[in-house]
Amino acid sequence: MKELKKFIDSHPFFDMHSHTAGFDLGGPVNDKIPRTLYDILTNDYLAYISSSCVDLPVPPSKFNGTPRSGKYSGIKELLNKCRGLTTYKAIREGIRDLHPFTEKDITEENWNKINRSIIKAYSTYGEREWHTMACKTIKVVKQVHIATLPYVTTHLDSLDDEEKKKQLDLLCPSLVIDGYIFTGFQVQHQAREMSYKIIGYTPKTLSDYLIFCERVLDTFIQHGGKSIKLLAAYFRPLKFDLNVSEKRAKLLFKIGPANLSESALRVLQDFLLYKILIMAKNRKLPLIVHTGYSVPSEHGNPENLENLFKDSNLSGLKISLAHAGWPNEGKAMIMARTYRNCYFDLSWNVLLSESLGYRILSEAIDMIPVNKILIGTDCGNVECFVGTVKIIRQTLYNVLAEKVSKGSFDLDTAKDIASAILYNNAVEFHQ
């Protein structure tokens, strides 16, 4: 199977999900900031999970904030509880590739050496160039970047023309629309407020607001935007009523989203999402939906979205069920088998759990037409990103090699499947 391994490892990869290039709002123009090993380890998932396993959770490092010179002793307890996680393996092996060390793990003995290498890399190249260099090394040629309108306008316009072009040649920005339907994380609400100034339009009525949303999408496209992204499952169920009357929505908007009860706000959100999805469809912007992982997990049940695929006004809208709907991945597979414009997207699953990613990918190849399967990293820093790409390629090889050895299909078919999942399907999704 050496031929298959070489083929997969060298094949161009279109990463369907990332935050690595500056998160939602982008980094500073001068991004040659001396990031530390402590920053890398606490930038993303380990900081998030620390609240569930240690008494003193580790606050996340922000790459647009001040570097933190934490010591090994300050993170030792968390690392000792998380060394078995695939997430940690991805970060560790990405660090190993970019800042070589020979020991089996990050320890107090090699901490300072690795730390010096990371500081030097970020100080010398800056976050954006370090990211670009890494993409070339691991053959990532395109990357969906989860972003905001200020990212593609204020942030990218702050860069010089050459660097801006390099960013847009690599990135396929995906606009988080949650703030525009009055849900989502605080940064999405912040982005909505910034959008009023960017568009130069402050809506007073619901009709005004819908005009504003159309201008947001048009501006996003003009600045290189390629898709829209919905994160609502973190805050509410993905079941949206597509039959809310405009009369009722006008009344709720007049009262004001901040003054509505939770149930009334959901009604307004339902109306606004439906209108924005129709706008997106008319502009050929596909939709990426965060499905699955949520608390409670029923909020992210992909079956909640079934009415979107049946609605005639949304016919032709491509929808990616990101994160494969896990722990409801079976329902997501059924939907991808059933609806032409439904895509089964394993972004993040392999990083969440290597064994989970292997199982879901294996089942998806068995069950779903190969042109419906997407995959991506979902990382927040370069080191984790590099390690995750390695795990994705290895997992894809392991799954395909097993199927070839069992006679499920031949080597040529395995290569065709690999090409589809790593690159071709993502290109088709964006067309």
Q: Read off the amino acid at residue 16.
A: M
Closest CA relative to residue 385, chosen from 422, 351, 359: 351
pLDDT of residue 1: 86
The predicted structure's pLDDT at residue 70: 84
Copy the structure tokens of residue 205: 């009525």
The residue assigned the tokens 């090409």 is: 419
CA neighbours closer than 13 Å in the CB half-sphere of residue 221? 14
Per-residue pLDDT of the chain (431 residues; tens, 9 = 90+): 899 999 999 999 999 999 999 999 999 999 999 999 999 999 989 999 999 999 988 888 887 778 888 899 999 999 999 999 999 999 999 999 999 999 999 999 999 999 999 999 999 999 999 999 999 999 999 999 999 999 999 999 999 999 999 999 999 999 999 999 999 999 999 999 999 999 999 999 999 999 999 999 999 999 999 999 999 999 999 999 999 999 999 999 999 999 999 999 999 999 999 999 999 999 999 999 999 999 999 999 999 999 999 999 999 999 999 999 999 999 999 999 999 999 999 999 999 999 999 999 999 999 999 999 999 999 999 999 999 999 999 999 999 999 999 999 999 999 999 999 999 999 999 99
Residue 61's pLDDT is 87
Tokens of 373: 């399967």
Residues forming beta bridges with residue 229, ordered by sequence position: 176, 288
Tokens describing residue 325 = 């709907």
Give the C-alpha distances (Å, rounded to integers) separating 192 from 150, 232, 239, 280.
9, 15, 23, 17
The pLDDT value recorded for residue 431 is 95
pLDDT at 63: 75
How many other C-beta atoms are found inside a 10 Å radius of the C-beta of residue 105? 12
Please give the structure tokens belonging to residue 248: 């009722």
Q: Are 371 and 429 in contact (CB under 8 A)?
A: no
Q: What's the pLDDT score for residue 62?
A: 80
Q: What is the largest CA-CA distance in the chain?
A: 67
φ/ψ of 186, rounded to 5, equals -55, -35
Q: Residue 260: what are its φ and ψ, rounded to 5°?
A: -90, 150
Q: What are phi and psi of 175, to 5 degrees?
A: -80, 120
Residue 173's pLDDT is 98
* Stretch (H or E) spanning 39: helix 37-41
Does residue 289 sit in helix, strand or coil?
A: strand
- Give pLDDT, residue 158: 97
Alpha helix positions (H), 283-381:
306-310, 329-338, 349-352, 354-367
Give strand pairing partners of 227: 174
Which stretches of 182-287 are DSSP H helices? 186-199, 206-222, 246-255, 262-282
In angstroms, rounded to a whole number, what is the distance separating the alpha carbons of residues 37 and 29? 22
